[in-house]
């Protein structure tokens, strides 16, 4: 064994490991070096594990840090969308820590990778709650991943912030939904298309990828259209498998369907099928003026990887766009770009923000506010403090619902521009109240955790 002296400082980490392995009582000076070597080695490992921030250093603080979990796929098919959410949550954590943390305690994020695999989602959620004992989890994108972690959170009384727009029909005590319910996205979008301003459309082609979100959304939209006296012959519904690439027949059908004017497409097509669909649409001579496509799953983050030529002029419905003109949004966008650049994330400064990214971001802040209000990180106390809390989010002020675990948000209709950004063409007056159970398909059901025990029958 080599003795350690001051001149060897450059090799300290390596030496420290050797010293530790020797595990032999020595002089106080050597003990000191061993200890500091451990801390440095720990920091090295933490940095290798990826962006765990300065948690090793935070041990130096007086109080234990608060652990939070981040449960987003970092590999596999969903990584393309979910990595950005992990990034923005880490950014929010860094922001909060820089301002002194929560109740004087730093936040220590625990990042896990469920790899786009729903079984792994449940496993990792269990690990976060039982092994890491995190105070709260930010995570999930697809509905199936949420459904698979739901029992874990309910059984262990955990807390999940879910940041993506979804199909509703859920009312869990252990989840806060910061994304839109169907009545905050798809329903207002159809109302817009039917209005004079939106073109007074009369024929609706519901097109989606074959899984739970499009199916449920389209069930609600169909009920809504029928309730608004749209004849059944003017509603078409069609689904394609995941990764579908050949849209020739469907575009042909849409062309026939929308002939004579007044037609539009409500698209819940997901992921990589969008490009072939829009390309085929344009190549067969259809224009946004003939039949606009209103998309519910196409946001800035997806658009930056697409050739947007074929998409210009088509529409989307969200609660936030990067182009929202508020001072706090300008700062948020600049901060996010700076954070991505600083952290050496792929594409760095060229990254964009979008609706789920914003929802993930303000979720962290809502939780922080609630913890401070409750003076505790206990789930039951935090939950009560979240009810009715407000936050000035990048897209404008939002309010957590008083009872149903969802979020009151504005609804914005945007038109796709050449640069992959959106021009806002319509916005709701004030905030839209979330309805987890749609008035069109489940008029008899409600969601309330104050006066009832979650989902209840209306009288």
**Tokens representing residue 209 in the block:** 């990828």
Whether 293 and 265 have beta carbons less than 8 Å apart is answered as: yes
DSSP readout, 239-262? EE-TT----HHHHHHHHHHHTTS-
Whether 185 and 267 have beta carbons less than 8 Å apart is answered as: no
Whether 216 and 268 have beta carbons less than 8 Å apart is answered as: no
Residues 202-221 vs other proteins: string with x where CB under 8 A? --------x-----------
Beta-strand pair 175-177/203-209: unpaired
Find the binder of other proteins among 6, 24, 62, 289 (CB under 8 A).
289
Find the binder of other proteins among 80, 96, 103, 424 (CB under 8 A).
80
CB 404 to other proteins: min, Å = 30
CA distance 426 to 413: 5
Using rule CB under 8 A, residue 349 touches other proteins: no
Find the binder of other proteins among 94, 167, 280, 354 (CB under 8 A).
280
Nearer to other proteins, 42 or 262 (CB): 262
Find the binder of other proteins among 11, 307, 372, 390 (CB under 8 A).
307
CA distance 302 to 265: 19
Output b/e per residue, 367-395; b: 16+ Cβ within 10 A.
Answer: bbbbbeebeebebeebbebbbebebebbb
Nearer to other proteins, 208 or 363 (CB): 208
CA distance 413 to 435: 19
Nearer to other proteins, 33 or 310 (CB): 310
Find the binder of other proteins among 5, 35, 36, 284 (CB under 8 A).
284
Place of tokens 């389209």: 218
Residues 162-201 vs other proteins: string with x where CB under 8 A? ----------------------------------xx----
- Count how many Cα atoms sit within 13 Å of the Cα of residue 162 in the half-sphere of its side chain: 31
Instruction: Please identify, among the stretches 99-107, 175-183, 304-312, 367-375, the one whose residues bind other proteins according to the rule CB under 8 A.
Output: 304-312
Nearer to other proteins, 77 or 389 (CB): 77
- Site residues (vs other proteins, CB under 8 A): 75, 77, 79-80, 196-197, 210, 238-241, 243-246, 248-250, 252-253, 255-256, 259-262, 272, 275-276, 279-280, 282-285, 287, 289-290, 304-307, 309-310, 346-347, 350
């Amino acid at each position: 064994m080599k003795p350690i002296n001051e001149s060897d400082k450059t090799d300290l980490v390596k030496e420290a490991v050797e010293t530790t392995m020797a595990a032999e009582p020595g002089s106080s000076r050597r003990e000191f070096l061993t200890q500091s070597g451990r801390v440095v080695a720990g920091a090295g490992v933490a940095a290798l594990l990826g962006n765990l921030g300065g948690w090793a250093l935070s041990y130096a603080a007086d109080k234990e840090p608060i652990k939070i979990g981040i449960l987003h796929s970092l590999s596999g098919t969903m990584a393309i969308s979910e990595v950005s959410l992990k990034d923005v949550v880490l950014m929010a954590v860094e922001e909060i820590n820089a301002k002194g943390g929560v109740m004087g305690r730093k936040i220590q994020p625990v990042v896990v990778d469920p790899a786009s695999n729903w079984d792994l989602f449940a496993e990792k959620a269990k690990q976060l709650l039982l092994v890491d004992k995190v105070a709260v989890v930010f995570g999930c994108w697809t509905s199936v991943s949420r459904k698979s972690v739901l029992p874990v959170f309910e059984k262990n009384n955990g807390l999940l912030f879910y940041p993506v727009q979804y199909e509703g029909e859920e009312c869990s005590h252990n989840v806060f939904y910061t994304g839109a319910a169907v009545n905050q996205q798809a329903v207002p979008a159809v109302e817009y298309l039917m209005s004079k301003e939106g073109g007074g459309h009369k024929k609706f082609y519901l097109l989606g990828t074959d899984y739970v979100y499009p199916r449920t959304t389209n069930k609600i939209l169909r009920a809504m259209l029928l309730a608004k006296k749209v004849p059944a012959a003017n509603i078409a519904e069609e689904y394609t498998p995941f990764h579908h690439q050949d849209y020739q027949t469907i575009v042909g059908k849409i062309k026939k369907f929308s002939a004579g004017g007044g037609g539009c497409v409500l698209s819940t097509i997901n992921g990589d099928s969008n490009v072939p669909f829009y390309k085929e649409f344009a190549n067969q001579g259809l224009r946004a003026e003939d039949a606009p496509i209103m998309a519910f799953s196409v946001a800035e983050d997806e658009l930056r990887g697409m050739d947007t030529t074929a998409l210009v002029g088509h529409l989307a419905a969200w609660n936030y766009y990067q182009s929202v003109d508020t001072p706090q949004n300008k700062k948020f966008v600049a901060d996010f770009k700076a954070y991505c650049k600083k952290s050496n994330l792929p594409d760095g400064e060229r990254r964009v923000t979008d609706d789920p990214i914003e929802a993930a971001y303000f979720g962290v802040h809502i939780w922080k506010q609630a913890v401070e209000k409750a003076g505790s990180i206990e789930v039951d106390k935090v939950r009560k403090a979240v009810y009715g809390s407000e936050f000035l989010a990048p897209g404008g002020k939002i309010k957590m619902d008083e009872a149903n675990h969802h979020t009151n948000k504005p609804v914005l209709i945007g038109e796709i521009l050449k640069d992959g950004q959106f021009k806002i063409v319509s916005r709701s007056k004030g905030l839209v109240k979330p309805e987890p159970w749609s008035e069109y398909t489940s008029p008899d059901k409600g969601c309330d955790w104050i006066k009832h025990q979650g989902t209840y029958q209306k009288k």
